[in-house]
Amino acid sequence: MMNNKRYNPAVQRTNARCRRAFTSTGTIIILGVAGLLTAIALPTMQDHRRQTNIATAQQRMDLIVDALQEYAHEHCGHYPTSSQGLRTLSASAKLTDGSEGMVVLADVPVDSWGNTFLYISPGVMNRDGFDICSSGPDHILGTPDDITNWGAN
């Protein structure tokens, strides 16, 4: 009996096209699924990053509050004035009379978004102390996302 299966170039090309089409279709499906997963995961990752930045800003503010408490302990209960600012807590601080200030912080931290903290002493919200505020993620003071040392944030 003879083998009826012969090499047919047309059939071979058709099979090759089918394999390529399947590969292209499979690639499109994989890219679609990857895009869908990214679209689902991205908002969650952005929210996690936002929450991490807020927590970091709060920790840096707590560090400043601790440094201010130490400063007040060494200065008969007085905090630096608003005009002296937080720079009086840093290693590079010089007092207005030219003398060296007490070093409490190596450098005054900034918030998670690279902005300096607003410092007011005597405080408006904390009348017996000081106010510290970060403008938060929107970089605008006076909005609900501000991070402060008074009340709920």
Does the N-terminal peptide bond of residue 122 adopt cis geometry, omega within 30 degrees of 0?
Answer: yes
- Whether the CB-CB separation of 132 and 125 falls below 8 Å is answered with no
Q: Domains in the chain, please, with CATH?
A: 10-148 (3.30.700.10)
Order the strands of the 118-120 sheet from edge to edge. 118-120, 131-134, 147-148
Query: What SS3 state is found at 147?
Result: strand
H or E stretch covering 133: strand 131-134
Q: Is the predicted pLDDT of residue 148 greater than 50, yes or no?
A: yes
* Type of residue numbered 120: I
pTM to 2 decimals?
Answer: 0.64
> Confidence band (pLDDT; 50, 70, 90) for 153?
very low
Q: Is the predicted pLDDT of residue 100 greater than 80, yes or no?
A: no
H or E stretch covering 49: helix 9-74
